[in-house]
Amino acid sequence: MNVKLKRVRYYTTSTQDYDIKWTMPQCVLTLRLIGLAFNLWDGNKHDKELSDSQKQVALKERPSLLEIAAYAYFPGAFLIGPQFSMRRYLDYVNGRLTERDPITGAVKLPDCVSAGLLRAFVGFIYVAIFQIGTLYVSDQYFFEPSFQKLNLIKKCLLIGLWGRINLYKYVSVWLITEGVCITFGLTHNGKDSEGRVKWDGCANVKLRTFETCTQFNHYILSFNINTNHWCAEYIYKRLRFLGSKIYSQLMTLLFLALWHGFHSGYYQCFFMEFLIMYFERDVNRTGVTEQRESANAAEDSMGSTHTLLDLSEALHFRFHGILPPVVRTSLVFTV
């Protein structure tokens, strides 16, 4: 029902521009309630029917209406995420994510404020980069005569730079909201090997991987992590009855496009993601592997070819695959 209502509201309120309004938190709410419904459904099954990940979030008891409302509209995450399970929220409010004194059993207040403020501060740095970057490469710049006069290479580089800067818009708000969730204590994720508390339980971006990625798959692993994980758990893995990974991936990406709205760019974007992922997999499996194996026998003659191939991959994935498809394909095949 919530999905149908959201689609109707998309149709009645969407414009030709990038809309930032109440439909955005409606997107977040839709995924949250779908996940809640699946968790309740899994709670009625036998444990042997569930995967390990499903066992961790399945709900054996139905939460109250007040708990559902508090979970759906958690102040640190109801506008733009991140997504997290009802199980995590219940563990949070019931004090299971906090440490206790081994002698008295009293709850120890977590040292989460400094970690949350630091994460939010990094988010504000990305806000500044985005604001400054859009002053030089704005959306309207591509419609100006000065851009049309540039050669193809400069156009592709500017489009890639524009796409990268626009990604920082999402990175910044996710970091800020993650900082809020850390300050609440919701993101507690145990301790690392050195005994330090980890606050990455609701992390939506891995900055080091995101900024140093060399493959498109690295973007999927480091950008909008919680939504990707949500789709994997609640859509992709539950389509096993189709008997095909390709069909499952296509249906998952179609769901994401429908979830985003009616604009054709969403459907083109996710279809290109599907093609790029399979293209990348085949290149890594065949071309790159074979060339680098043969390089052991002819390193001198093949060295320049590997350098060019790595350069083309770096250019492609550094710009998040925003180069036109023909240019992306020619960059790889002409090497």
Find, among 155, 127, 173, the residue nearest to 322 by Cα. 155
Buried b (16+ CB within 10 A) or exposed e, 184-219: bbbbbeeeeeeeeeebbbbbbbeeeebeebebbeeb
Find, among 188, 189, 168, the residue nearest to 124 by Cα. 168
Residues 14 and 262 sit within 8 Å (Cβ to Cβ): yes
Give yes or no: 260 in active site: yes
Crossing angle of helices 2-13 and 245-260, in 10° steps, is 50
What does the alpha-carbon distance between residue 117 and residue 101 come to, in Å, rounded to a whole number? 26
Residues paired with 205 in a beta bridge: 223
Catalytic residue among 260, 263, 306, 320: 260
Catalytic residue among 39, 204, 224, 228: 224
Tokens of 52: 């390990």
Residues involved in catalysis: 224, 260
